[in-house]
Amino acid sequence: MAVNRLEQIIKDTINQTGPITFEQFMEFCLYYPSLGYYTSGRHRIGVHGDYYTAPYASSVMSMILARQIAQFFDLLGQPDPFYIVEVGGGTGRMANDIMESMSRWHKDVYDAARYAIVEKQKGLTVERPDKIGIHEALSDIKPFTGCIISNELFDALPVHIVVMDHRLYEVYVTLKDGRFEEVRMPAPDELLGHLDSIGVKLSEGMRTEINLRARHLLEAMTAALNHGYILTIDYGYSSEEYYSPYRGNGTLACYHSHTVDKNPYELAGEKDITSHVDFTSLGKWGRELLLSTVGYVRQRDFIFSLGYDDLLSRIKNTVNDPVDYYRLTSASKFLIMPDAMGDIFKVLLQYKGDLHLPVPAGFTYRNSIL
């Protein structure tokens, strides 16, 4: 079997430096310049890609987000300019849909809004270049007032893999007979300290992930935001659920052509590698960065709290063709179904600022504070 270019680069690195952590291996696979999964320019989302995200499942998700963002605008005193910064904007689909919804139903917000996509992938185009800018890094944007949003971003960050076998070990990647193979080495104090800080003791034999990159990303978000909200949508759990003994094999998964597997060592750079998000850690790190945790809810509770049924009625009144209405709204059921995205996806809201503000609408039902 032919070795692809990225696989050979990883193997050369291991031959030169010795075993690398799984986190380093995952970084190579996802973000190596021009060859990584997220940097190669390959089509990742939709029917011809590897998976669907909520904005691709239905534009109703972006309409719901527009409602919540419009309330952020009011709560923050209707600043002009009002920045909406989407980190990990992908193809720009969500940005286009949110701004379309703003132009139709939230004109005052649309007039004040400056939408900024932060995305490493090259060649991204948007429908409203006068309103939507594209940046390679958060640091390219001057500190602003508004909100930072992300959808399925933190799950795509490289993670450490650890195993509890009488003591904590970290998984490294080496080579044997020219093939990738895992080896274990004693885990460093940084990983042990993190588990202690969130009150987690792994059960014997457990294999799981620790995502320390999430803190660095949250730090960058906090530094970019003068005053406002950080809204995170992703699949994941509290740390109590994440590190529960019944999840003894962790959450790591790979996606390729709409199939799921557990082997990250094949098709380097050609398939997605993800792990679920530990929202407890995001909340803890946020507090250390002087962010307030406003709310933590299931995606379906977030959507219903923002008027899902009312939104469908409004859409019905503006779409003349019943077939068009069905196409637009039928897929939105996946956003709220418990066995689809409704329960496994969570929404976390954090706030930077001194003012005590009312809890936004999306977090008024079954809200939990991490």
Please state the rounded mean pLDDT for residues 118-132.
83
Longest CA pairwise span in the chain (Å): 65
Q: What is the pLDDT of residues 324-349, one digit of tens each?
A: 777 777 778 888 888 888 899 999 99
Domain locations along the chain: 1-370
Please give the structure tokens belonging to residue 285.
Answer: 């790190």
**Residue-level pLDDT at 15:** 97
pTM over cut 0.75:
yes
3-state secondary structure of 286: helix
Per cent of the chain over pLDDT 90 is 76
113-118 and 82-87 strand pairing: parallel
pLDDT of residue 253 exceeding 60: yes
Task: Give, in words, the CATH class of 1-370.
Answer: alpha beta
Please state the rounded mean pLDDT for residues 249-266.
92
The answer to whether 50 touches 58, Cβ cutoff 8 Å, is: no
**Least confident span in 58-62, 84-88, 156-160, 177-181:** 58-62
Give the pLDDT band of residue 54 (cuts 50, 70, 90).
low
**179 forms bridges with which residues in the sheet?**
176
Per cent of the chain over pLDDT 70 is 94
Gap between the Cα atoms of 204 and 256, Å rounded? 32
Cβ count within 10 A of residue 317: 9
